[in-house]
Structure 1
Amino acid sequence: MMSKKRLLTLALPLALILFILFTKWWIVDVIDGSDCVTYGFPLIYKAPAFHTSLAQQFFILEFLVDFITYFFIVFTLLFLIDKFGLKIKLNKKPLIIIYTIAIILFGIEASFATVFETSFSIRRNFDIEVKQTGFKFYFSEEERNIYHKLHQ
């Protein structure tokens, strides 16, 4: 059985990759505001900024809860697979590839988050009414379909 420390070494980049690539979208009606598309699972951690177009706002507490959720799920799955299924062997080359992918995706996300006038808050400070939700994959065509649903 692989040690928990070695599982953590694999779980961290995998959780980061999944966190960036797969998320939940929420079409919401902001109370005293307009409709918008927000992102996050299980909590909304990213929304369009209200002060300017193309900018986004991030909610730190919700972001941390979401990332810890992804990490816990990935670690638990790896632990269960290693204990009851296939034994996970952690070779250096695949681990370097996984970390490289995680770093590249994180760099892309960080650059998008800092290019425009992004704002960061400890918590989401506006009430919402959820109209519709779904899941998206980062490179899918779903993004355009979400915005089409928003403007129908």
Structure 2
Amino acid sequence: FLKQACYGEHSASLYWVSAQARENAITVRDLLSDSLFGSVNGVHVALKQHQTDNNLDAYELEQLLSEIEYFWGRLSTRLVKSRAAQFILLGQAIEMIDLKLRLYGEVDTLLEDAKQLNLLGSQLSDHWRAFQPLNHSLAQNMQTLAGVSAQVIRYAS
């Protein structure tokens, strides 16, 4: 289970997400401190190393999750509570719900996180549709969560 969640051939694997986060960190490198960039890069490098040596255990995964929490904590303390900060907090809420769905698979553990997500979403967009995890299956919640940011970020077409 752990190996599939971390390295499975799907766009939600921790390795794939860390690779995308690293690419994003490279793109905005001039806006990140060395410690923030190092945090993102370190998680990706560690996951890449453990993919090669096939030696990732739950304890090391917990350490990597602590590093991700460090990143979010440092980033949120640097931002003034502006629209940019709300986008960061929205991303954090999405990631937290996604992680809990993958690890626990129980929607009843998400109620407080869903409240936070819905509050931020409604502040950022007039088009926000509330995320209600109790009304759907696990698969439906995962699919809904994957498209949540599109409700807030509307690209010109």
Whether TM exceeds 0.5 here: the answer is: no
Q: Which has the higher strand share?
A: 1
After TM superposition, the score normalised by the length of structure 2 is 0.26
After TM superposition, the score normalised by the length of structure 1 is 0.27
Bigger Cα Rg: 1
Which is bigger in relative contact order (C-alpha 8 A, separation at least 6)?
A: 1
